Amino acid sequence: MSERVNSTPLETILSRITQKKAVIGIIGMGYVGIPLAVAVGRAGYPVIGFDVLDARIEQLNTCQSPIGQIPNSALEEISKTGFVATGDFARVCECDALMICVPTPLDKMREPDLSFIISTMETIAPHLRAGQILALESTTWPGTTYEVLKPYIARTGLTVGTDFFLVYSPEREDPGNADFNTQSIPKVLGGDTQACRDVGVALYSAFIDQVVPVSSTKAAEMTKLLENIQRAVNIGLMNEMKVVADAMDLDIHEVIDAAATKPFGFVPYYPGPGIGGHCIPIDPFYLTWKAREFGLHTRFIELAGEINASMPSYVVNKLIRALSERGKALKGAKVMVLGIAYKRDIEDVRESPSVLIMELLRDWHVDLSYSDPHVPVFPVMREHQFDLSSTPLTPETLAEQDAVLLLTDHTGFDYDMIAEHAPLLIDTRGVYRRRGQNVPTA
């Protein structure tokens, strides 16, 4: 369909998408925005990446990727199709499509913090125009797109579904996953109106292999929460089973492996030192908060959250007992943490249980160090601060510790060397169980 004089905003934007003339703006160039920019750029569309951090903009414009899963070569590739990063939000008016990929954390009361979304809308609202589509990708409670974003659009005089299009399509990024990327992960999408959904499907189908339309933005928002709540609940169950198994002197990993031989009805999940990342520890609380508006108490979800949140303390208590058996107090002990990223082979420390455990150990005045090949210097975080750099893993640095906590099972660790030279090794990930080596396990 070619663009015509007097064509409607719907016809115009569909034509620009089909002809690859649409300029795509991505707001928030982080773990979601950068992979999304790569997928869009590789599909042949020019991309403008918006961010408020000058250092991040400089990195992107010099094709220096700040996240491990995206190589510099990917940024070099999309720069040839027009990718540029900027902090000039007036350029929003140049974009045919806008995708919001900003953080949605919890506040200190464990309630949703939409300040990044609200700040984004206040910044871009003066620059919105007819014929654009706006997609929210940030995880949030059901109703956010309609209740929070739509009023900003209405105040501009634009009409959603007629001359402006509004959708919600939750990110499904999984850093470190070698089997799936942004293009190959199916994309759920809900529109504020049928026309909005049609434009959204056309847009995302241009660079995503499979788009999964649902009936509304609210249904798409709930879908994202269900995905992560299911995982949080199952991990919570296994963490509780771990505690029970320990009390009964059972190896929970042996039990899980045996149960997993059942060819139907059982899906293995594994315990650990807690849960991390920007989704699983946070998303359940978005639903529990919204459910209270309807007089509902999501007891099952909240209980799983409590169990998962208790695991860092459980690990520290296991360490206290293990040291006591060797005649050593935790206070003043030399303890090395192996892995501070929230999961294997990535550099992301957001909501990492390792960081929470480090804070508990600091409260005990432990002589603390860490080693993580993916995090050479402890990053600046909103709530957690450590003036530490990664310690090289050598027989000498291991031997001088009183205890070593294996918290993130990076494939780059030399597990044989660790087992040989650590005076006390506590494995919270079951690594040595999988390797057939017998070491103390928390």
What residues are labeled active site?
279
- Tokens 């350029």 belong to residue: 91
Give me the residues paired with residue 389 across strands: 377
Write down how long the chain is.
442
* Interatomic CA distance for residues 73 and 82, integer angstroms: 15
Q: How far is CA 396 from the centre of its chain?
A: 35
Q: How far is CA 384 from the centre of its chain?
A: 17
* Interatomic CA distance for residues 404 and 415, integer angstroms: 12
Three state DSSP letters for the chain: CCCCCCCCHHHHHHHHHHCCCCCEEEECCCCCHHHHHHHHHHCCCCEEEECCCHHHHHHHHCCCCCCCCCCHHHHHHHHCCCCEEECCHHHHHHCCEEEECCCCCECCCCCECCHHHHHHHHHHHHHCCCCEEEEECCCCCCCHHHHHHHHHHHHCCCCECCCEEEEECCCCCCCCCCCCCCCCCCEEEEECCHHHHHHHHHHHHCCCCCEEEECCHHHHHHHHHHHHHHHHHHHHHHHHHHHHHHHCCCCHHHHHHHHCCCCCCCCCCCCCCCCCCCCCCCHHHHHHHHHHHHCCCCHHHHHHHHHHHHHHHHHHHHHHHHHHCCCCCCCCCEEEEECCCCCCCCCCCCCCHHHHHHHHHHHCCCEEEEECCCCCECCCCCCCCCCCECCCCCHHHHHCCCEEEECCCCCCCCHHHHHHHCCCEEECCCHHHHCCCCCCEC
Q: How far is CA 241 from the centre of its chain?
A: 26
Reading the block at residue 326, the tokens are 């060797």
Spatial contact of 398 and 337, defined as CB atoms under 8 Å apart: no
Number of C-beta neighbours around residue 303 at 10 A: 14
